[in-house]
Amino acid sequence: MNASKAQQLLHGQTALVTGASSGIGRETARVLARQGAAVGLLSRDKAALDTLQEEITADGGRAQVVPADLADSEALRAAVAGCEEALGPVDLLVSNAGHGMNQVFLCDQTEENWQRTIDINLTGAFRICRQVVPGMMERQSGSIVFLSSVAGKRGIPANTAYCASKFGLRGLTESLAWEMGPFGVRVNAVCPGLTNSPGLNEEERYGGDFVASLARHHGPENLTWKRYVDRAVRNTALRRVLESEEVAMLTLFLLSDLSTGITGQAIGIDGGAL
């Protein structure tokens, strides 16, 4: 149920969420809409975005589907223009879209997948920021949240490309925060641990190459995705996987006026991982 307008944290604001078609991005878009934001929904999967738009509208919210590929700067320019034409200037940006497939030891990694990982996770964040940052500077207000990862705070074997991209987001967060602070714009990153989302649940897409590479170089030879995840969960204080809504609520906090003194931070939400 939506809060009353007087209680909504983001009433009257426009948010843009990349990677909104599934997982954390989808739940974040729903949470922001329930808190009064008009939400631009961006990803390559238009059908999934259309379904999400219908759900948000049925719940009393406003949303606009703006499909685009983060690797295509011109498509992003058109998507942001379409979002702002329909909903108004972008006040809030959630840069969530990411690429986590084919993560293996560096000695097994192809240059093609290394570049793909960096291009989507890091350069894609740069591309979308290029489209919204000038307007925020002109209006002297706004808030940006990057979805990084625990892999952006510590190294993980068989994740060299992914870790490099997510560590890069921390640098982008801190430097952009210093650039944008005098213009009244805050920039932060959220660093989730294991979360109930496609990245955790679709083993065939995300776990196969990773586990094979880890088993080959570090062992044990009979390592499975389930055994890896179970051990990772045991190494958290809460001893459980996070839910996408929990990550979305931290993102909401950082976007809203509840966190007006926070910028340039990469905040972990990992269940107390070791």
Q: What is the tens place of the pLDDT at every residue in 101-156?
A: 899 999 999 999 999 999 999 999 999 999 999 999 999 999 999 999 999 999 99
pLDDT of residue 53: 98
pLDDT of residue 201: 81
Q: Which of 139, 37, 45, 46 is nearest to 93 (CA)?
A: 37
Taking only the tens place, the pLDDT of each residue in 66-81 is 999 999 999 999 999 9
In this structure, are residues 180 and 257 in contact, taking their beta carbons and an 8 Å threshold? no
Rg (CA), the chain: 18
Residue 206 bears catalytic tag = no
**Candidates 2.60.40.10, 3.40.50.720, 3.40.50.620, 3.40.50.10490; CATH matching 14-100+112-194+242-268:** 3.40.50.720
Dist. CA 272–CA 274, nearest whole Å = 7
pLDDT at 89 over 50: yes
Buried b (16+ CB within 10 A) or exposed e, 233-253: beebeeeebbebebbbbbbbb
Exposure of 192 in the CB half-sphere (CA atoms within 13 A): 26
pLDDT of residue 71: 94
pLDDT at 223 over 70: yes
Q: Point out the catalytic residue in the list 146, 162, 167, 206.
A: 162
Tokens 């290029």 correspond to what residue? 130
pLDDT at 250 over 60: yes
In this structure, are residues 253 and 35 in contact, taking their beta carbons and an 8 Å threshold? no
Domain boundaries, the chain: 14-100+112-194+242-268
Tokens coding 182? 């005098």
